[in-house]
Structure 1
Amino acid sequence: MASDTEKTEQSQKTEAMQPVDVHHAEVLGKSDLMNDALDGEQREHEMGVWEAAKLHPAACFWAFIMCFTIVMESFDMFLNTNFVALEQFQKTFGVETSPGSWTIPTKWQSALFQSGQCGAFIGVFLAGPITSKIGYRWTTILGLVLMNATIFISFFASSLEVMVIGQAFEGVPWGFFIANSPAYASEVVPIPLRAAVTATLQMSWSIGSIIVAGASFGYNDRLDKWAWKAPLALQWIFPLPLLILIFFAPESPWWLMRRGRKEEALRSLKRLGNESTEDAQKSLAMIERTIEIELQMDSAPTLLDLLKGTDLRRTIITCLMYASQNFAGNLIANQATYFFEQAGMSDSFSFKLNLITCCLQLCGNIFSWYLTSRFTRRGLYLGGLSVNIVFLFCLAIVASVPQNVHTNYAQACFGVIISVVFAATQGPISYTIIAETSSIRLRPLSTAVGRAAYYLTEIPMIYLSSRMLNTTGWDLAGKCGYVWGGTAVFCWVVAYFWLPELKGRSYRESDILFNRKTPAREFSKTIIDERDNE
């Protein structure tokens, strides 16, 4: 008896010493726990979108709050692109190109747009290990504290050099937010709601762009430093309220179970909407089962695991989904005001049209909730990308003919349409695909590396985009559609052969499909038995 007690104590000590991924092998060996796991997974499969939303309103709320942290990256990204079109900012920091006309040199435009992304690139790599150690909740709180502090650098900047440094420091917490938001959102809601809640990431981008567009338009006529300082100061409205809310948010039950904190995971599930203890226990058993299946392949996760076995394929898909956002004309939306000016619109009308575009993008985001429930992930991604390929080449053709007021308006219209189509299809569904593709045990690391791929491709693409649009660069205006149309075609071909269909799949089923090395176009047709534990 004493020997058994010693063994139990030793086992508990060993488990406590494990940094992550505590084993739960009993769920695969005990019939009652296995039946609970089967019931929990079947229950999620049988739910409709609206039923799941009514049963899990708290989960939807907390997923949205976590995704809303992206509004800060969106706000700052769009703010910089509006600054280069803001007359007072041009006079303060730019060079005079002709009497009474100023512009920000191409190299400084690129530096302003790229510095934040460089900081975020560092942030996403820090986010993975930190999240694995302290969880989604505390990592996000840490990011919000850093965000509050780093805004001061940009606000008090008196030169472009300091402004660029400030943007780089602000980028680090952006990396925390974008790495954690899709992972957390997908883990706290049942299967039918994954697409809807992860799509709110794109909505947060639109909300940030609307606030920036409104602020830039409102302060555009000011003739002092507050024309650009006031919009910068608006960044402080986000971190503190979000920090307070997230402090009270439940931690992901999946993360808690990986740490062996079963009671806390059960409480988290109840807070997220499982009012019945019985239902919560079944969901917990489902989580245990999936985690144990993954742990049979390996133990504590590391970055190198992303490059091993079937996880390499999942990492490549995640990276491609993120990177493709920079190759399908979305950078036209990110530099909309400046693009409209180069397309021949007046400064004032460009700011107005940018605000309209941002509002239409938000409408597209909301419409994406219907599209994601109606169509497959793969179909929506390829379909939306196909539409934008057509419009990108149409934009380029219009910009290639002799220009007049009609062609100028046509270019502006195509720019708006491309932005809205992206906001309703490729943008939101990319985040859903990213959240569903990675394995549970590697999710914090996978989303971080995927976002790093986004920044690695965005940084040169921002330079290219600035070069194509700037009057001191190539001055292509709408002809940039030839470039973005060509890169979008490449993304479509790669997605056609590599992108699997994971709609309606549990994380267990996704693991099995990848482990079987199922071809991408066969994912939706493959039947997985409910008792398979591969």
Structure 2
Amino acid sequence: MAKDIGTSPAIDSGINSLLDPRRKWYNNRRIIALNGWIVLLLITSSTNGYDGSMMNGLQSLTQWENYFHHPHSGGLGLLNAIQNIGGLAAYPFAPYLSDGIGRRPTVFIGAVIMTIATALQGAAQSTGMFLGARFLIGFGLTFAANAAPLLVSEISYPRYRAQLTATYNSLWYSGAIVAAWTTYGTFKINNTWAWRIPSVLQGLPSILQILLIWFVPESPRWLISKGKNEKALDVLAYYHGDGNRDDPLVQYEYNEIKTSIEYDRTVAANVGWKSLFATPGNRRRMRIIIAIAFFSQWSGNGLASYYLNKILNDINIKDATTQLLINGILAIWNLFCALGASAMVERLGRRFMFLFSGIGMLIFFTSQTISFAQFQMHGQPAAAHSVIAFIFLFYACYDVAFTPLIVAYTVEILPYPLRAKGFNVFNFTISVALIFNQYVNPIALMAISWKYYIVYCCWLVVECIFLYFYVVETKNLTLEETAAIFDGEEATNEILGNGLNAADRNEKHNEDA
């Protein structure tokens, strides 16, 4: 079993002792401003969430069905999967942009591509044009989604970093809510604007990012990696130390980042793609990252996320109004659960949340399967209502870990030189898993109905076993401290020692003065 190392007093005492208890998010104008810019980055996830919910809603619109000639089975799978196929095409380039030109420019490039693509999607005159636009949405989203969460984790005030990074993926459901209720509001329009309006609105977060992204501070870690140490110190001082470059917290962060980057460059030699698997620590990281990426899409959640209307049809709930209402309410429920879990990540810890999520999903997905089978065999209305109830309970458990933590946990266990590339592998894995789900799920549901659920019941058992043995606790650690624990005691001592020594020297200097 993985050792619980995230609560070590020796490690925790580093940065926590330097946090000014008077400096809160609600009473410090610079932290308030910083968090405002972080919200602009967090809405990148909303674009992705909007897409899944929009496609769910469009399948309930006869206007969309008629215009695109009633897509089904593999054709419907392609319409859903094409965005992730577009994402795959961008993965070879995204980390190089994030590491090469910076986090902010990469978000800007992704937002521009997505804005153009959503305009094309809303103006689509054929299935091919709709597919091409969705391909471009996925292509642009990969750039923004690679850089935005990295920047969130690298500029956040330390006290709130875990919660804010966890909120990134939780806001997937904010986009889902807008899409679900937009399609509910337009489904009575008796022309193509019933689906064109939701298609165009998908670009709203990207437009906001185009207008405001250059006001967001650049990552201090990226600046230091490019030799722009003074600019990095200015960013840390302005947002984390009320403008004081000699603030003990600012000096600790600055020296810790410098030491960590230098260590990874010289001692660990983490440079290219091969380095992701070159050392035992990195192989341990990638094993966890790839696994949770697959689990986030292969836990049965893909059925309701993209084919809720098919499930509702199978339990004899065929009214479009009812289907759209359930889709909208489910999105609100998911956002509520995910944000609640995001706020608790430093209290409950990553390991507990992953295990709770895995076991809960297994219980409620199995219950959902039994209810589905009962309805199919006996046609009992109560069984149909139970299916809906267990879908909501399943997602409550899914949202405890697999919505807020998968991005936050991936980012925080990767050292800076590998962060963009490792996070790219994470996103690539999710896209591959999604493409498989989006193609296979409608075909399997049509072929064997509820029996397909048994596959996911068995797989959830495998997930729980993996999570129990391999997930490492990382709560209350900085990014550098978290990365160091995977590489052994030498790396931990060197990185933490330099950061603490710098802070101690600065504190002594202030006392002498």
Tell me if both proteins adopt one fold, taking TM over 0.5 as the criterion: yes
User: What is the distance in 2 between the residues matched to 1:163 and 1:376?
Assistant: 43
Equivalences for residues 217-232 of structure 1 within 5 A: 217-232=184-199
TM superposition shift of 1:241 = 1.6
TM-score (norm 2): 0.86
- Out of 278, 287, 294, the position equivalent to 1:308 is 278
* Shift in Å, 1:410: 1.0
Secondary structure of the 2:133 match is helix
- Find out whether 1:426 has 2:402 as its counterpart: yes
After TM superposition, the structure 1 stretch with the greater mean CA deviation from structure 2, 423-432 or 140-149, is: 423-432
CA-CA distance at 1:263 after TM superposition: 1.1
Match of 1:327 in 2: 298
Distance 1:441 1:41, change over 3 A: farther
Instruction: Name the amino acid aligned to 1:393.
Output: T
1:513 maps to 2:485: yes
Given candidates 485, 488, 492, the residue that maps to 2:460 is 488
State the 1:48 CA deviation: 9.4
CA shift, 1:191, in A, is 4.0
Scaled by the length of structure 1, the TM-score of the pair is 0.83
State which of 373, 380, 387 in structure 1 corresponds to 2:346: 373
Gaps of 5+ in 2: 1-9, 500-513
| Distance verdict in 2 for CA 1:516–1:386, change over 3 Å | same
Alpha-carbon RMSD: 2.7
The verdict on how the C-alpha distance between 1:352 and 1:281 changes in structure 2, with shifts beyond 3 A counting, is: same
| Contact 1:183–1:443 (Cα < 8 Å) also in 2 | yes
Stretch deviating more after TM superposition (312-321 or 408-417): 312-321
Residue aligning to 2:335: 362
Match of 1:395 among 343, 349, 368: 368
Matches within 5 A, 1:338-349: 338-345=310-317, 346-349=319-322
Give unmatched runs, 5+ long, in structure 1. Answer: 1-37, 95-102, 519-525
One of 445, 453, 465 as aligned partner of 2:441 = 465
Letter in 2 for 1:74: G
In structure 1, the partner of 2:383 is 407
* Structure-1 residue corresponding to 2:246: 278
Map of 2:263 onto structure 1: 293
State the 1:307 CA deviation: 2.2
Give the drift of 1:391.
0.3
Q: Within 2, Cα distance between the matches of 1:319 and 1:430? A: 10
When residues 114 and 50 of structure 1 are mapped into structure 2, their CA distance, relative to the original with a 3 A threshold, is: farther
Superposed counterparts of 1:108-119, under 5 Å: 108-119=75-86
The alpha carbon displacement at 1:41 in A equals 7.9
The 1:318/1:59 distance shift into structure 2, 3 A limit, reads: farther
The farther-off stretch of 272-281 and 431-440 is: 272-281
What is the correspondence of 1:6-17 to structure 2 with a 5 Å cutoff?
Answer: none
- Tell me the amino acid that sits aligned with residue 334 of structure 1: S
Pick from 54, 62, 65: which aligns with 2:37? 62
Aligned residue for 2:62? 87
* Bigger mean CA deviation after superposition, 184-193 or 226-235: 184-193
Q: Secondary structure at the match of 2:246?
A: helix
How many Å apart are 1:223 and its aligned residue?
Answer: 2.1
Q: Which residue of 1 aligns with 2:506?
A: none
Q: Is the 8 A contact 2:37 2:215 kept in 1?
A: no
Report whether the alignment pairs 1:531 with 2:497: yes
Deviation per residue, 1:211-247 (Å, 9 max, x gap): 1100111111222111111111212322222222211
**Is 293-302 or 388-397 further displaced after alignment?**
293-302
Q: CA deviation at 1:532?
A: 8.0
Aligned match of 2:15: 43
Q: Deviations over 1:97-151 (max 9, x none)?
A: xxxxxx4221111101111001112223311011111010001001111111122
Q: Establish whether residue 266 from structure 1 lines up as the match of residue 233 from structure 2.
A: yes
1:139 is the counterpart of 2:111? no
1:351–1:382 distance in 2 versus 1, CA, 3 Å: same
Deviation, structure 1 residue 363: 0.8
Looking at structure 2, the residues matched to 489 and 527 of structure 1 have their Cα atoms a distance apart, in angstroms, of 38
Say yes or no: does 1:498 pair with 2:466: no
Shift of 1:49: 9.9
Deviation by residue 1:29-53 (Cα, 9 ceiling, x = unmatched): xxxxxxxxx9998234664999664
Residues 69-90 of structure 1: CA deviation (Å, up to 9, x unaligned): 1211221232123222221111
Letter in 2 for 1:329: G
**Per-residue displacement from partner, 1:438-462 (whole Å, max 9, x unpaired)?**
1111101110111101111211122
Partner of 1:158: 125
- For residues 231-278 of structure 1, give each alpha carbon's deviation from its aligned partner in whole angstroms, at most 9, with x where no partner exists: 112123222222222111000101111111011101211343321221
